[in-house]
């Protein structure tokens, strides 16, 4: 272990202790920088070189960590952070096979146990003995802290502007939060050591050999799939008839509304897509492999099944669009549609692998997942939900009709939705923004824990303040009306 790795690890722990107490935003990127440097120094000391794909995974992970810095909503930020951890594990360990892509995080978890012991050995090697090294470090930290406190307090007392600058820039290190700060310090140190140890001694998942399945007879393999293809074709034919014949005739015959028709089918079609992927995986495992004829049979049957599944994906998305027209857009609905679209992309990649080979498929699926999560976070789902529901509110209110708007749900959205909700007319605007405005007014997080979505929302609310006088009863009445409408 090089001294640079130790310093980068210490910097990660200190930044975690000072910056991560108030939430996640830019501070997550600031903590990730020294942790990445620790991995780089440890990998170089172990004789590893950074390959092009490792840079791709690493840059992708850093890009995903920008989502909490841009968006106030917690749910896309959580998804982005989890995906960034997965990409980081692939960057640290490398690999191009399915075990390397799917099992990468296990190697990092193993380093969580081995990393601290490895770091302690490196600390003893660099400083001679543990007692002397710890003593030198503690004395240096104590002297530094005393100098900063004494001179910082004197300068703050001499000038009010400098005192305000210190209060804005310095993280909160109050005694009341001492135990939690210690926990953050330990987590930062352990995390950085785990990352560095993984870079120095990666798990070689590419060496894991997945035994091939026993090939089946053509009839035994193809007959169930051909029957399934016929079933898919019949369902898709009905979908096309309904599409060109019009939904009205079908709905009138079955006595259904648009919303009932969409709700009845979307979840079933989503499950169909997932099950089809499983069928393709197991079919490839047991596919006949005796010659060119068998390969052509596999490509023809599975390619047809995948093509028909894409029509099912389109039908599911169309049904959800109908359901949104009837009841509005929500977080669950936008999430499952995004998931369905990604499953459709995976099916396209499988079809391409059947033509050009499957060597690149694991990496392509991982890249598509990371790109989808990043795009999902950057497009700001809460803002998209608010914008779509505001548009629906305006469209349904035309011609003297009663507009449809879920006020209670709008009040649950994050600060990312403020720009779209700001377009509403009073009193609906003030009612929809009241909860967000109250949260922002009582939120005093420092700059490094504040997202760009919160900053933008504060600017909008400052330039166009809410009209709150006498609106409490009006908002309550509107919420009740919308609930029973």
Residue 369 and residue 423 in one domain: no
Residue 22 token pair: 């108030």
Contact 378, 412 (CB under 8 A): no
Q: Is the pLDDT of residue 477 over 80?
A: no
Cα gap 89→218, rounded to integer Å? 40
Give the list of residues 6+ apart from residue 252 with CB closer than 8 angstroms, or none: none
Q: Could you report the per-residue pLDDT of 324-372, keeping only the tens digit for each?
A: 888 889 999 999 999 999 999 999 999 999 889 888 999 999 999 999 9
Residue 364 and residue 398 in one domain: no
DSSP codes of every residue in 393-421: HHHHTGGGPPP---HHHHTTS-GGGHHHH
Cα gap 412→421, rounded to integer Å? 12
Burial of 129 (0-12, 13-18, 19+ CB in 10 A): exposed
Residue 38, domain extent: 3-51+94-207
Domain boundary among 182, 207, 232: 207
Residue 227 and residue 342 in one domain: yes
304 CB neighbour count, 10 Å cutoff: 16
Contact 468, 430 (CB under 8 A): yes
At residue 113, what are phi and psi to the nearest 5 degrees?
-85, -45
Cα gap 325→329, rounded to integer Å? 8
Residue 319 and residue 396 in one domain: no
Domain boundary among 363, 379, 395: 379
Residue 104 and residue 178 in one domain: yes
Q: What pLDDT is recorded for position 176?
A: 47
Residue 109 token pair: 């978890």
Q: Could you report the per-residue pLDDT of 307-326, keeping only the tens digit for each?
A: 999 999 998 888 888 888 88
Domain count within the chain: 3
Among candidate residues 48, 96, 120, 75, the one with its CA nearest the CA of residue 377? 75
Residue 4 token pair: 């640079």
Look at residue 440 and tell me if it is in a domain: yes
Residue 227 and residue 364 in one domain: yes
Look at residue 282 and tell me if it is in a domain: yes
Look at residue 81 and tell me if it is in a domain: no
Domain boundary among 379, 402, 425: 379
Residue 112 and residue 227 in one domain: no
Q: What pLDDT is recorded for position 37?
A: 94
Q: Could you report the per-residue pLDDT of 97-153, keeping only the tens digit for each?
A: 888 888 888 888 889 999 999 988 887 777 655 455 556 666 777 777 777 777 877
Residue 287 and residue 412 in one domain: no
Look at residue 68 and tell me if it is in a domain: no
What is the SS3 assignment for 330?
Answer: coil
Residue 192 token pair: 């950085």
Report percent pLDDT > 90 for the chain. 46
DSSP codes of every residue in 318-364: HHHHHHHHHH---HHHHHHHHHHHHHHHHHHHHHHHHHH-STTHHHH
Residue 45 token pair: 């000391």
- Residue position matching structure tokens 């930290």: 141
Residue 260 token pair: 């009932």
Better pLDDT: 174 or 116: 116
Look at residue 263 and tell me if it is in a domain: yes
Look at residue 66 and tell me if it is in a domain: no
Q: Is the pLDDT of residue 58 over 80?
A: yes
């Amino acid at each position: 272990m090089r001294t640079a790795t130790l310093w980068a690890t210490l910097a990660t722990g200190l930044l975690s202790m000072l910056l991560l107490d108030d939430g996640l935003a830019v501070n997550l990127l600031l903590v990730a920088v020294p942790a990445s440097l620790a991995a780089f120094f440890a990998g170089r000391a172990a004789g590893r070189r950074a390959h092009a794909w490792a840079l791709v995974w690493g840059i992708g992970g850093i890009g995903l960590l920008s989502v909490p810095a841009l968006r106030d909503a917690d749910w896309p930020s959580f998804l982005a952070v989890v995906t960034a951890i997965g990409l980081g594990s692939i960057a640290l360990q490398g690999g191009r096979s399915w075990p390397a892509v799917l099992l990468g995080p296990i190697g990092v978890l193993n380093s969580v146990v081995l990393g601290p012991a490895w770091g302690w050995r490196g600390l003893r090697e660099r400083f001679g003995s543990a007692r002397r090294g710890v003593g030198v470090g503690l004395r240096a930290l104590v002297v530094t802290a005393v100098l900063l406190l004494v001179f910082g307090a004197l300068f703050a007392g001499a000038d009010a502007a400098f005192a305000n600058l210190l209060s804005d820039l310095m993280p909160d290190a109050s005694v009341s939060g001492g135990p939690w700060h210690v926990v953050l310090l330990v987590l930062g140190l352990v995390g950085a050591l785990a990352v560095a140890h993984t870079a120095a001694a990666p798990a070689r998942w590419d060496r894991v050999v997945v035994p091939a399945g026993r090939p089946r007879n053509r009839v035994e393999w193809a007959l169930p799939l051909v029957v399934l293809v016929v079933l898919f074709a019949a369902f898709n034919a009905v979908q096309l008839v309904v599409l060109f014949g019009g939904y009205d005739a079908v709905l009138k015959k079955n006595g259904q509304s648009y919303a009932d028709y969409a709700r009845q089918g979307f979840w079933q079609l989503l499950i169909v897509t997932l099950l089809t992927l499983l069928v393709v995986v197991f079919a490839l495992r047991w596919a006949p492999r005796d010659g060119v004829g068998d390969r052509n049979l596999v490509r023809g049957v599975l390619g047809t099944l995948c093509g028909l599944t894409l029509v099912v994906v389109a039908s599911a998305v169309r049904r959800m669009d109908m359901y949104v027209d009837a009841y509005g857009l929500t977080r669950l609905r936008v999430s499952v549609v995004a998931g369905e679209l990604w499953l459709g992309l995976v099916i396209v990649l499988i079809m391409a692998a059947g033509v050009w080979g499957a060597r690149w498929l694991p990496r392509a699926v991982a890249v598509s997942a990371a790109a989808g999560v990043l795009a999902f976070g950057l497009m700001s789902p809460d803002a998209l939900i608010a914008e779509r529901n505001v548009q629906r509110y305006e469209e349904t209110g035309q011609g003297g009709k009663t507009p449809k708007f879920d006020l209670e749900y709008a009040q649950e959205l994050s600060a990312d939705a403020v720009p779209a909700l700001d377009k509403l007319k009073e009193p609906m605007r003030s009612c929809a923004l009241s909860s967000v405005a109250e949260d922002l007014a009582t939120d005093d997080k420092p700059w490094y824990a504040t997202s760009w979505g919160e900053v933008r929302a504060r600017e909008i609310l400052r330039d166009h303040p809410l009209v709150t006088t006498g609106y409490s009863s009006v908002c309550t009445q509107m919420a009740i009306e919308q609930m029973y409408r």
